[in-house]
Amino acid sequence: MKTITEQLSAYAAYHRDKRNIATHFIGIPMIVAAVAILLSRPAFHAGGITLSAATVLAMAAVAYYFILDLGFGVIMAALMVAALWLGQWSAAQDTATWLMLGVGGFVVGWTFQFIGHYYEGRKPAFVDDLSGLIIGPLFVVAEALFVLGLYKGLEADIVRHAGALRSAR
């Protein structure tokens, strides 16, 4: 299995334009929230516990994040709990509201992604490797932590493998 450095470096290679990264700070959280919203209906019962597809998917993703890195796993778990809360709240609304939030968020989130990749001049990472779909949210969290001055060693490793960030050309 690839390490967190390998995963983030491979993903970062598709994301070296600062405008692209900025659009991902909007688009990826919207997509994650939209998926949680859409997969929160319907729920099923297992062993006296009510679960939705959103909960099962989030648990699998968080388990993977914990395998990659304990600290990132904790952060991603907290963010997934927030997404699941939003998903459950949305699922309890009328169908039109649930769909508007879920489908609307998904479409708008992907619009931001593709605008960013227009600036990047490169296709999204998931086109070449589907693991980009699970690494994308982790990448946004890592970039936020780098801005805060945290995980400098990891940031340096990623820059060494993927190249430096570039500003608007």
> Quick one: pLDDT at residue 105?
98
Question: Number of folded domains in the chain?
Answer: 1
User: pTM of this prediction?
Assistant: 0.91
Q: Is residue 59 part of a domain?
A: yes
Strand partners of residue 44: 51
Evaluate whether 132 touches 11 at the Cβ level (below 8 Å).
yes
Per-residue pLDDT, averaged over 92-101, amounts to 97
110-154 residue pLDDT tens: 999 999 988 888 777 777 767 879 999 999 999 999 999 999 999
43-55 residue pLDDT tens: 888 788 879 999 9
Q: Is residue 4 part of a domain?
A: no
CB count within 10 Å of CB 56 equals 13
3-class SS letters over 13-72: CCCCEHHHHHHHHHHHHHHHHHHHHHCCCCEEEECCEEEEHHHHHHHHHHHHHHHHCHHH
Name residue, tokens 């909960």: 55
What range defines the domain where residue 119 resides? 12-162
Per-residue pLDDT, averaged over 57-62, amounts to 97
Chain CA centroid to CA 117, Å: 16
74-92 residue pLDDT tens: 999 999 999 999 999 999 9
**How far, in Å, CA of 49 to CA of 36, rounded?**
18
Q: Is residue 65 part of a domain?
A: yes
pLDDT of residue 21 exceeding 60, the answer is yes
